[in-house]
Amino acid sequence: MEHLPWSQGKRPITLAMMGFLARWARRLSWRETARAFQTSWDCVYRSVEWFVQWGLAHRKLEAVESIGVDEIHWGKGLRGDNFLTVIYQIDSHCRRLLWVGRKRTQSHPAPGADNVGRGSR
């Protein structure tokens, strides 16, 4: 098989189109994005998934100085499954989501915190 620099694997759309769809999917619903650009919802989903995986593989955590930890309730009921623990970077120069996890326990409240500030991904 020949390597094509504008494509990845057997994906039916180019890397540029995946980036384009993923950015529009931040502003519109995925269904609206698919309709607006005459593609499928699945194509938008896979584009967003690729973009997120690329971002996770290339993010740098060395400069994190301050974090915020919060617990968010979602869904119905107060079961433990309905809570998400989120970790944010809250430095003055950068505010971003670092980690989201389900089912917090007291023995290990935020497994994502292990990677913060150590320079690992």
pTM (2 d.p.)? 0.59
pLDDT at 54 over 80: yes
Q: What is the pLDDT of residue 83?
A: 80
Q: In what order do the strands lie in the sheet with 94-102?
A: 67-73, 83-91, 94-102
Phi, psi of 95 (to 5 degrees): -125, 120
- Quickly state the pLDDT bin for 44 (edges 50, 70, 90): very high
The string of pLDDT tens digits covering residues 84-118 is 888 889 998 888 888 888 766 655 555 555 555 55
| Res 120: pLDDT | 41
Q: What's the rounded Cα separation, in Å, for the pair 57 and 73? A: 28
Distance (Å, rounded) from C-alpha 40 to C-alpha 19? Answer: 15
pLDDT for residue 32: 96
DSSP string, 24-93: HHHHS-HHHHHHHTT--HHHHHHHHHHHHHHHHHH---TT---EEEEEEE-SSS--GGGEEEEEEEEETT
- pLDDT above 90 covers a percentage of the chain that reads 25
Determine the pLDDT at residue 112.
Answer: 52
Let me know the angle formed at the C-alpha of 87 by 27 and 72, rounded to the nearest 5 degrees. 75
At residue 87, φ and ψ (nearest 5 deg) are -120, 125
